[in-house]
């Protein structure tokens, strides 16, 4: 209510602040940088002990030191955990799961079946997967489960430069539909059918150029 006295912010005492910091830094995502965070935790523990033992330390100064130390610990921990969170997010956006052993033809059949019953979202997802699996079967890409759409299209685009832009667009469509919550349409499925045809033509053209290249004299 206007004019009502506001309660002062809660400032933890030294034991509470130390417990908060220890609990936060003990979370699993921070263990990838345990050496750095371990040293930080040791330093914070030492500072908290000094505050507890310092009989001549002003209470307000001690509270300020504790609050700053806790905020610093949380900030460093958040910064260290960032790559872990991003890495986990990246892994969850894979095109092909490790246990998916289907062939490109089987994935195309699944896409066609989904399209026939109007499930355009599944049709788009399976059709893009079939494109990536086909590139693996044709040795344009190495077999690597967990590869993201961006990684697949970027790598394939360097080998099939003529369809690099189309591959990138297809990868973005896959991410939007599979992980971005976008509802696919029949036009999206048609776009990926066209992508598959373009990739097949570019692959055949690259193979023809490779086979017709003159032998280098030794």
Q: What is the pLDDT of residues 112-147, one digit of tens each?
A: 999 999 999 999 999 999 999 999 999 999 998 889
Buried b / exposed e over 135-149, threshold 16 CB at 10 Å, is bbeeebbeeeeebbb
Paired with 94 in beta bridges are: 148
Contact 188, 177 (CB under 8 A): yes
In the numeric block, which tokens belong to residue 130?
A: 């079939």
Its pTM stands at: 0.57
What is the pLDDT confidence band of residue 95, given thresholds at 50, 70 and 90?
A: very high
Give dist(CA 130, CA 104) in Å, integer: 5
Residues 6+ apart with CB under 8 A from 100: 129, 145
- Higher-confidence residue of 103 and 19: namely 103
What integer is the mean pLDDT of 98-106?
93
24-36: average pLDDT: 53
Q: Which residue pairs from 148-157 have beta carbons closer than 8 angstroms and sit at least 24 positions apart in sequence?
A: 148/90, 148/93, 148/94, 148/95, 148/175, 149/93, 149/95, 149/174, 149/175, 150/175, 152/95, 156/132, 156/199
Secondary structure (3-state) at 180: coil
């Amino acid at each position: 209510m206007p004019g009502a006295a506001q309660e002062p912010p809660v400032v933890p005492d030294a034991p509470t602040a130390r417990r908060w910091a220890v609990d936060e830094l003990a979370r699993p995502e921070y263990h990838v940088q345990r050496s750095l965070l371990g040293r930080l935790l040791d330093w914070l523990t030492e500072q908290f002990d000094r505050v507890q033992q310092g009989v001549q330390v002003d209470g307000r100064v001690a509270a300020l030191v504790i609050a700053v130390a806790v905020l610093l610990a949380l900030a460093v921990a958040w910064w260290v955990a960032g790559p872990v969170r991003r890495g986990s997010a990246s892994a969850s956006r894979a095109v092909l799961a490790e246990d998916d052993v289907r062939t490109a033809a089987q994935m195309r059949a699944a896409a066609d079946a989904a399209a026939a019953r109007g499930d355009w979202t599944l049709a788009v997802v399976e059709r893009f997967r079939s494109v990536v699996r086909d590139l693996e079967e044709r040795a344009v890409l190495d077999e690597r489960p967990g590869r993201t759409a961006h990684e697949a299209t970027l790598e394939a685009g360097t080998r099939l430069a003529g369809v690099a832009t189309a591959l990138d667009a297809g990868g973005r469509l896959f991410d939007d539909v599979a992980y971005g919550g976008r509802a696919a349409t029949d036009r999206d499925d048609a776009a990926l059918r066209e992508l598959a045809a373009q990739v097949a033509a570019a692959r055949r053209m690259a193979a023809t150029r490779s086979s017709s290249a003159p032998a280098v004299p030794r």
